[in-house]
Amino acid sequence: MNRKKGDTESVDLNDVEVDSVTKRFGETVAVDNVSMNVARGEIFGLLGPNGAGKSTLIKMLCGLMSPTSGTIKIGGYGIQDDPVKVKELLGVVPQDIVLYNYLNARENLAFFGRLYGLSGSKLKNRIDELLKFTQLDEKAVKRRISTYSGGMKRRVNIAAALLHEPQVILLDEPTAGLDPKNKLALWEIIQNLHEEGKTILLTTHMMDEAEELCNRVAIMDRGKIIALDAPHQLIKKVKMENTITVVPDRITPKLTEAVNKISGVKRSYRAFDENEGVESLKIITEMAEDILPEVVSAVSSAGTKILSVELSRVTLEDVFILLTGRSLREEEERYL
Amino acid sequence: MKTKRTIHQVLAIAKTDFLGIARNRTAIFFTLLFPLFFLIIIGFTFGTQGAGETSRIRVGVVNLDREETIVNGTVSQNSTIGDAFVQALRNANFTVYEYMEYGDKETNGTAAYDISRRKIKIAVSIPANFTESLSFRYVDSSGRPIPTKAHLILYTDPSDPTGSLIAQQSILGFISGFISHYQEVVISQIPETFQKYVKVLVDPITVSTNEADVSGRRLRWIDYMVPGTLGLVLLWSGLNHASVAIANERTRGTFQRIVIAPVSPATVLAGKFLSCLAIVYLSSAIMLGSGILFFQVNLYWNLPAIVLSIFLGALSAIGIGLIISSLAKNVEAANAITVLISVPLQFFIGAFFPLSVMPRPAQIFGEALPFTKLVNAIQGIMTKNLPFEAVMPEIIYLTVSGLILFALGIIAYWSSLKRL
């Protein structure tokens, strides 16, 4: 059941069900009565600053840790009641490269495949499929993992979690530390998995990643989920001002007057970028995308020409800062 | 189906673990070849020479007999017997260095200096009147010989009590032989009818030494040493590898990944145990094979008894290794703890030095170690061809200690699962 990004209404089957889960370490409550569902075929993002409880929740989802209270079901099976079935349904991609450096890619995949009960030609065929899927060439797979680039290692790291064709894939910071080219390649792999109908739950520090990939995101802070929705819905819910930056050939009083008359414009002001040596008109509004055409026609009617126009809209990062009081980029830097 | 899957998982874990050693040169050296390194160095140094060999004993001789001395009020200079003594030492195959004086440890070229630098193990000082005393040159006013004993002085190296003791015993044995020869010469000069009585009087007891037939074969030291080094194998291959088996996986993060798969902790443990056991047997085979190849050891090959003894010894080594591996925070800590334990222990298991030369508390400690029991059992089986029943006390000890230590290892491993 493939679903389009943002389409969460027609959910009839949840692959991940977290119901009132709490995890305590002595007096500390790491995860506090969290409930959430991830629908089959959905890409679900889990965001949160360090110490928010993400890692503890992930460990409980993997079966590495038991909840103090509450239940977790994967594919309809209780993680406590039927751990073997849950492990067979779950593919986990850890945030670190967890492979044997002294083995080559094929040997690593064969090892993890055997742990999941694969053997013989079935295992060999599955490894071939995954090597193709992760775009690793035949020459490279014969070399030891220790000789691979970060991006190649990351791809084998993902392939190792897919050997047993899991329905639910858990990716912990899948693109952390990757350059833009490798990041895009991994996004493509994740999107391909999504197209295959896999249910994907990922944690990330990268807002562009969450916005680009996820159908829905949950923001965790201090052990609780403080927001859960599609990224664009979350942005919509947050009433924040946007800025339209117009660079015309000249800024005249007539132009300023025309812009300020547009319905929805709160105010405008002239700004000079010393680095670029360019003067621009900044227009403050809550509905930037809606009034952009009117701004463009106002500039033309004032007898000026537009050299460039830029729309600074509210991002998921802004939502995150608003909700948690911390920047995700700060978290990312701390993480790196 | 489930059993087949579990077997595949155990074999996969064991193979991957084994490849971790096989593809890492440092690990190969420390896990498989380090005991071999010891065997070759020590074996070539001592092993092939035989216990009665004296050429490796370096003796310093200060022959003052060549100097002048006063005899009966006149100057005498005769070194006939002193020179014969030195030549006899050489003939007896000692490595002899001659000095003009005993001296002191600060003066280069003296015997004391060379003892302090360990060039010689023992020094013999021959007095200036050595020949004069032994040839009855001292006479009274009536011309009758005055019985005068010649006095040799031995100097030993206190910094090496064992080496000095061996050198001292060898020199005393040589002197005893030299005295017998001297007596023969002197006695031959008295009337023949008295000779046999005098011979009995001066040497009333004769001793002959024969090696007990404990083996059925003529054995050299190396023949005892090679089986003894299997104790080192347990320390260096078994304990060493087991101690990093889990810690390595935890540090790498692969342990979590294995546990996330549908693999029970018992399966992981079985895989690790199998790999450790394979490494112990491989290392044992290398040691025994090298013994045959380099030293042509002459041993008995009761393979079932050897394999069983090694297995029981491996239980203890892997048990201790598991405890270290499970409790250590990371692989570096596990390595440090292992070195701290295995390096001192190797001197207490009787592989290099017999426990009998050690102080009593060290002997008690050494005897309590399961690895010492393995060395005793294996030496009994391989050098003396003892039947299995004869080494049963050692086997029982190995079994009990192995089960206890391995059980403790499993408990530590299980408790470590909570720290994932």
Domains and CATH numbers, chain B: 2-47+220-418 (no CATH), 58-202 (3.40.1710)
Percent of chain B with pLDDT over 90: 52
CA distance B264 to chain A (A): 9
The residue that leads in pLDDT, A290 or B353, is A290
Q: Mean pLDDT of all residues in chain B?
A: 89
Virtual torsion, Cα A329, A330, A331, A336, nearest 10 deg: 90
Nearest to A115 among B15, B252, B263 (CB): B263
Report residue A241: phi and psi, to 5°: -80, 140
CA angle, A212 then A218 then A224, to 5°: 160
User: Is residue B75 pLDDT above 60, yes or no?
Assistant: yes
Q: How many CB pairs under 8 A join A and B?
A: 66
Task: Note whether B234 and B317 are within 8 A (CB).
Answer: yes
CB contact under 8 A, B5 and A88: no
Nearest to A84 among B11, B19, B262 (CB): B262
- Find residues 62-81 of chain A whose CB sits inside 8 Å of chain B: 62-65
Choose the most confident range, by mean pLDDT, from A30-44, A131-145, A172-186, B148-162. Answer: A30-44
Q: What is the DSSP string of B6-50?
A: HHHHHHHHHHHHHHHHHT-HHHIIIIIIHHHHHHHHHIIIIITT-
For residue A8, the model assigns a pLDDT of 44
CA distance B314 to chain A (A): 26
CA distance A225 to chain B (A): 24
Integer angstrom CA distances of residue A202 from A49, A213, B200, B238, B408: 14, 10, 101, 41, 39
CB contact under 8 A, A102 and B24: yes
What is the per-residue pLDDT across A70-122, written as a single tens digit (0 to 9) for each? 999 999 999 989 999 999 999 999 988 999 999 999 999 999 999 999 999 99
Residue carrying structure tokens 């680009």 = A212
For residue B220, the model assigns a pLDDT of 77
For residues B82-105, give the mean pLDDT: 94
User: Is residue A123 pLDDT above 60, yes or no?
Assistant: yes
Task: Note whether B287 and B35 are within 8 A (CB).
Answer: yes
For residues B53-67, give the mean pLDDT: 86
What is the per-residue pLDDT across B395-410, written as a single tens digit (0 to 9) for each? 999 999 999 999 999 9
For residue B367, the model assigns a pLDDT of 93
Task: Note whether B297 and B43 are within 8 A (CB).
Answer: no
Structure confidence at residue A10 as a pLDDT band (50, 70, 90) = very low
Which residue, B249, B261, B246, B262, is CA-closest to B410?
B246
For residue A5, the model assigns a pLDDT of 44
Chain B residues touching A102 at Cβ < 8 A = 19-20, 23-24
User: Is residue B51 pLDDT above 50, yes or no?
Assistant: no
- The residue in chain B having the minimum alpha-carbon distance to the alpha carbon of residue A110 is B12
What is the per-residue pLDDT across B61-71, written as a single tens digit (0 to 9) for each? 999 999 999 99
Integer angstrom CA distances of residue B164 from B63, B159, B385: 20, 9, 33
For residue A326, the model assigns a pLDDT of 61
Q: Which helix (H) or strand (E) holds B233?
A: helix B230-233
What is the per-residue pLDDT across B211-246, written as a single tens digit (0 to 9) for each? 677 666 767 778 888 888 899 888 888 898 899 888
Report residue B362: phi and psi, to 5°: -65, -35
Which amino acid is present at B221? Answer: W
User: Is residue B146 pLDDT above 50, yes or no?
Assistant: yes
For residue B46, the model assigns a pLDDT of 65
Structure tokens at B109: 């070229």
Task: Note whether B13 and B267 are within 8 A (CB).
Answer: yes
Q: How far apart are CA B117 and CA B107, in angstroms?
A: 11
For residue A328, the model assigns a pLDDT of 52
For residue B123, the model assigns a pLDDT of 95
CA distance B338 to chain A (A): 23
Structure tokens at B262: 């549908």
* Sign, Cα dihedral of B362, B368, B369, B375: positive
Tell me whether residue A283 is exposed, middle or buried, using C-beta atoms within 10 angstroms of its C-beta: 0 to 12, 13 to 18, 19 or more.
buried
CA max distance for chain A: 78
Nearest to A114 among B8, B253, B420 (CB): B8
For residues B348-368, give the mean pLDDT: 85
Integer angstrom CA distances of residue B110 from B90, B123, B153, B177: 19, 10, 15, 27
For residue A2, the model assigns a pLDDT of 40
For residue A118, the model assigns a pLDDT of 94
Q: Does A143 touch chain B (CB under 8 A)?
A: no
Chain B residues touching A103 at Cβ < 8 A = 16, 19
Q: Does A147 touch chain B (CB under 8 A)?
A: no
Structure confidence at residue A128 as a pLDDT band (50, 70, 90) = very high
User: Is residue A166 pLDDT above 70, yes or no?
Assistant: yes
CB contact under 8 A, B261 and A63: no
What is the per-residue pLDDT across B181-215, written as a single tens digit (0 to 9) for each? 999 888 998 888 888 898 888 888 878 777 677 66
For residue B57, the model assigns a pLDDT of 86
Structure tokens at B76: 């005498």
What is the per-residue pLDDT across A204-258, written as a single tens digit (0 to 9) for each? 878 888 988 999 999 998 899 998 999 888 877 766 677 888 999 989 999 999 9
- Find residues 82-121 of chain A whose CB sits inside 8 Å of chain B: 83-84, 87-88, 90, 92, 94, 96, 98-100, 102-103, 107, 110-112, 114-117, 119
For residues B266-272, give the mean pLDDT: 95
Q: How many CB atoms lie within 10 A of CB B14?
A: 19
For residues A285-298, give the mean pLDDT: 87
For residue A180, the model assigns a pLDDT of 86
User: Is residue B2 pLDDT above 50, yes or no?
Assistant: yes
For residue B212, the model assigns a pLDDT of 72
Which amino acid is present at B150? Answer: A
CB contact under 8 A, A100 and B16: yes
For residue A135, the model assigns a pLDDT of 81
For residue A245, the model assigns a pLDDT of 87
Q: How far apart are CA B364 and CA B344, in angstroms?
A: 15
User: Is residue B87 pLDDT above 60, yes or no?
Assistant: yes
CB contact under 8 A, A103 and B16: yes
For residue B163, the model assigns a pLDDT of 82
Residues of B with CB under 8 A from a CB of A: 5, 8-9, 11-13, 15-16, 19-20, 23-24, 252-254, 256-263, 420
Structure confidence at residue A28 as a pLDDT band (50, 70, 90) = very high
For residue A76, the model assigns a pLDDT of 92
Q: Does A160 touch chain B (CB under 8 A)?
A: yes
Task: Note whether A62 and A155 are within 8 A (CB).
Answer: no
For residue B175, the model assigns a pLDDT of 94
Chain B residues touching A96 at Cβ < 8 A = 253
- The residue in chain A having the minimum alpha-carbon distance to the alpha carbon of residue B264 is A84
Q: Does A330 touch chain B (CB under 8 A)?
A: no
CB contact under 8 A, A117 and B5: yes
> What is the ipTM, given to two decimal places?
0.75
Structure confidence at residue A275 as a pLDDT band (50, 70, 90) = confident
Contacts of A329 (CB under 8 A, 6+ apart): A205, A317
Structure confidence at residue A335 as a pLDDT band (50, 70, 90) = very low
Task: Note whether A204 and A186 are within 8 A (CB).
Answer: no
